[in-house]
Structures are given as C-alpha cells and as structure tokens.
A and B are shown apart, each in its own frame.
Chain A
Amino acid sequence: MLDRDQVRKVAYLARLELTPEEEETFTTQLSNILDYFQQLSELDTSTVQPTTRAIDVSNVTRADTLQPYPNRDAILECAPDREGDFFKVPKIINPE
C-alpha cells in the first residue's frame, strides 16, 4: 500500500530523519496499519457529519488585553541556545 518513496516523503514532511532500517520497517508496518484502516470503508458515511470534539463547547473568547508574563526569563532559560532575549538557531540558508 505504501512504498519506500512515500515513507521518505512523509518523513520529510514530519521533519524526521530516518535510517534505512527505519524506512524499511515503517514501510511494512505503516502498510499493515493502513490496511487495517480499510475496514472503515464498510460504513456508509455519505450523510454523516464529522465529530471534531466529543463534547461541544461554544466558542470561548476573552478580552484581547495584554498581560505581561511574570516569568519571562524562565521561558528563555528552557532554550537549548539563546542570545540575550532571543532563541538562537543554526543558520537557516546555506550559502551553496
């Protein structure tokens, strides 16, 4: 159902680097799982509305007022790398 190229494409979309062994295992396992999903086609759902949440809550809103967060530095402290008040990441574009 699913070939190795598709697995590679999905892994790229999910930002996951897979080893060749993982690619192989996932190709088999995901195909089996997708096969299992096929049983849903036994059910006619042409007139059924989808359920996005089990218990309906009407739109919850609040006033859009700024509230300063008291513990700003604690959040920045969690970052693997920072510079001053910024999260630091590796370069985004390679020159070549």
Chain B
Amino acid sequence: MVSIRKLHQQLIQKERSAVEIAQEALDTIQKLEPKLHSFITVTAERALEQAKQVDTRIAAGEEIGLLAGIPVGVKDNLCTQGIRTTCASHILENFIPPYESTVTQKLADAGAVIVGKTNLDEFAMGGSTETSAIQQTANPWNLKRVPGGSSGGSAAAVAGGECVVSLGSDTGGSIRQPASFCGIVGMKPTYGLVSRYGLVAFASSLDQIGPFARTVEDVAILLGEIAGHDPKDSTSLNVEIPDYTRYLVPDLKGKKVGVIQETFGEGLDPEVEKAVRVAIAQLKDLGAEIQEISCPRFRYGIAAYYIIAPSEASANLARYDGVKYGMRIEDADNLIDMYTRTRAQGFGPEVKRRIMIGTYALSAGYYDAYYLKAQKVRTLIKQDFEKAFEKVDVLVCPTAPTTAFKAGDKSADPLSMYLVDLMTIPVNLAGLPGMSLPCGFDSSGMPVGLQIIGNVLREDQVFQVGYAYEQATDWHRRSPKLK
C-alpha cells in the first residue's frame, strides 16, 4: 500500500521521481473521475510544476521533507491563490482567491504536490456531499452510496487512490464521518491547533481543518506539517507542536479507554454496533483498561449544534452580497434587490435553510430562547467530557450510527440528515480532537468507523490508541475494487 514514508524512500533513493508519482496520481484521477467525481478542479499543470521542483532539489542533493513530492487533495473551501475556490456553490463558482490559506501555504513550503480541489457539501453544510451545487461524489466502495460529508470529495479521493492524503474541514463531523463512510483515517484536531486563515468560514467557533489518509501514521505526519500558531488567526493556539509520529507505539498497557454509553442506544445500526464492540474488545486484548463512561448530555448535542452552527453561518454568509466577489445577478433595480436576488440564485436549498434557521435564532425576541440556551447546553456537554477525562485517557464510540447510505435516501428530510452527526457533533462543541479509523465492514461491504476522542491537545493519546489498534488489524489494508 502507498504511504508517505514509502514514497519518500522511493524519492530519496531515486527509484522514482516526484514527476512520475504526480503523473501516476493524475492518471488515476483521469481514470476514476468519471465514476467518483471527487474533484471540482484538477490542477495538473501546477502539480507537475511543483513535482519538478522537488526533483530538482533531490538532484541537487538537497534534503527533502517527508511531504515533498506527495500528491495531496485539498477541500475546495480552502483558498488557493490563483486557483478557483468554489465551496461547491454557484455564488463562488468563478471565485479565484487573491491570497493563499495558511495550510495550503504550509503544504507548498513542505514541497507537497496539490493535485486538485475536492468536492464538498455546499459551504460544508451537509453529511453526504449531495448539497454540492457542482457535482455528486460517489463512495468508492459502492458508487450508488454517498461518500459522507461534508468533506466527501477529500475522503473519496484518498479511498479511491486519486491522491495519497488530503485536507478537509470539520464543523460537526465533516472529516470523521466521511472517513468512516469511505474506510479511511480522518482527524479533527483540537480547535485552534490548525490555523483557519483562508478557510472559508462556516461556523467559526466550531470549524477546524484536518487530514485524511489511509493510515494513522500518514495522518500524524500531515497534521504535524499543518499545525502551529498563526498570527493571522486570532483563535490559533500558541503551543509547541510535538512530533506526533513519536507516539506511534503499538502498546496500550495501562491506557484507560472509556466507552460512551449514550452512543449505543436507539438508532445505532446493529452491524455498526457489533464491529465497534469487537474493536473495543481488541483494545482490551492489547492491554487497555476499558471503562463504561456516561455523558448524559451528549444527546443534546445535535439540537445545540443546529442552533449554534446556523447562527454563526448566517452571520458569516452575510458577506456574499454580490459586491466584493462572487456572482451577482444582472439587471438589478436597486441595491436590496441585487442582494436578495443574488443570494436567492447563488445559494442552494440547504444553505438557505441554515441561513434562515440562524437568522431566526438570532432575531429579536428569540436570542435567549435559542442561541443563548444552546451555548449553555454547550457548557453542559463540555462538562460531561471534562468529567470523563478525569477517569480515562481517551473515549471511544462509533463515528456514525450507520454505514454509508444510498444517494437520495435522506435528501428529502433535512432533519434525518442532521441526525447522522449524532456521534461527532459533541466533540466539536467541546473543541476536542477526534479521529475516525476503519474497524470493519457491514454485510453489504461498506466500511465501519471507530471514533477515538482525546482531551484538549491530547492528539498524542488519540494517535497512540489508533495506531496500536491499526497495527493489530488489517482493515486499513483493504481497498475498494475500482476499475
């Protein structure tokens, strides 16, 4: 299986050039895109140019970093200077950012080769990538099923082998849930660990950028590269970034693992439950001490989230007014007419719905009942986690209540789509790191994900438990059969 380290070895031993590796990724993209539709924009020319620069450095005897020459996919809500950044929305369909996001700048500085911009739910609002106004992404394990969302393009691209690693963003589960649906590893780091500068804002108090890869090690390498303080993001944490690969030791002796009881209730697919229970038993066999943990307010997360996130979104998306960038309708009569009709044409139904919820929740007379109440419930959920982490090192639960569903299954009922984020949302509300990794398959061959949640800035613990589990299993070695 392809991994960052393996490709790095091939590069420094001159078995393959970065251009050959980039060309192979681009060929795979060309072959699979008619089926997967993971990418909104493929940046072939730029990728080969970046790869050539890496080859020049190798030829000159320069030392290269682990990410140099590695093909990377980037979610299309991360601004890339000179490359169209659409957020899968008509309103930004032709937007070419005049500046670069901090994370993509860090990738470029590390010599990574960006092969393209990946599909997402419009403005990252959704759990299936079906709200994209550009195209529908398929799940590489079964083309009739959704890849999850909102970072569905980034997850499908890695699972399908179109790139080695990718970046997504996670506001309520948008990295972990598609990672689970596509059978790969995805991590949402602690809020503030990775700079959000240049990430198109959805819900600013929850949004966080993170990596997708086939293995825990590749996720650890990529996170180490993109994490770190950034003066351009005032919520960015000024902390030392450790070498996360140091924690990749397959030993769980004495590690305390809590199982969140409330995630095993109604609505959980029995096949998902079985796979996750078996995974927990394996953690025990590996030396972990398993404890049942109760987070009684966990289940209120969805209601709190669907007040807080749309409220913040309604404010953040006010900037799309047809004045400074993005689309504008023709023949407007006056300014208000231009605003209302531009936004009516530019936004899709899910984005409009969330703007409406948020505007309502923040409007005069309702603020205390909705927004303030939700923020107080957020405190209670955070307290549940704080109490749990007094007893255990990490928490585990299913990443999603089901495996990937069929395209179209939930698009008619918005509320049923919101419920797919049940297991992931509380982690965003508390700002904690969470990772999903493959832990089995259901009887129809769709991957199941195990979520590992760590305390604030304890990505090290999440990596250690995840790595130990991965090394003891072979789920990550399986690939979808795509011809």
Contact = CB atoms under 8 A, between A and B. Distances in A.
B357 A30 contact: yes
Counting contact residues on chain A (CB < 8 A from B), the size range is: 35 or more
Instruction: Report whether over half of chain A's contact residues are helix, strand or loop; otherwise say mixed.
Output: loop
B205 A53 contact: yes
Given A26-B356, A30-B360, A80-B326, A75 B98 contact: yes
A29 B356 CA distance: 11
B363 interface: yes
B324 A57 contact: no
Contacts of A52: 205, 375
Given A54-B191, A57-B235, A94-B334, A43 B325 contact: no
Contacts of A18: 344, 352
Interface string B116-147: 00000000000000000000000000000000
Contacts, number: 166
B372 interface: yes
A66 interface: no
Contact of A40 (B333, B377, B432): B377
B5 interface: no
B415 interface: yes
Contact of A78 (B96, B206, B335, B428): B96
Interface residues of B, number: 73
A20 to B, nearest CB: 13
B359 A57 contact: no
Contact of A43 (B297, B306, B428): B297
Given A55-B237, A79-B324, A40 B356 contact: no
Contact of B356 (A14, A37, A39, A89): A14
Contact of B321 (A15, A22, A48): A15
Contacts of B377: 40, 43, 45
A54 B96 CA distance: 32
Given A26-B353, A71-B98, A17 B380 contact: no
B327 interface: yes
17 contacts: A10-B363, A15-B318, A15-B339, A15-B340, A15-B343, A17-B344, A36-B303, A36-B415, A43-B380, A45-B377, A50-B378, A52-B375, A55-B456, A62-B231, A79-B325, A87-B323, A90-B334
Given A14-B355, A17-B344, A53-B191, 14 more contacts: A15-B336, A15-B339, A17-B340, A30-B360, A33-B418, A36-B303, A40-B303, A43-B377, A51-B382, A51-B429, A54-B205, A57-B192, A75-B98, A78-B325
Interface of A: 2, 6-7, 10-18, 22, 26, 29-30, 32-34, 36-37, 39-43, 45, 48-55, 57, 60, 62, 71, 74-75, 77-81, 87, 89-94
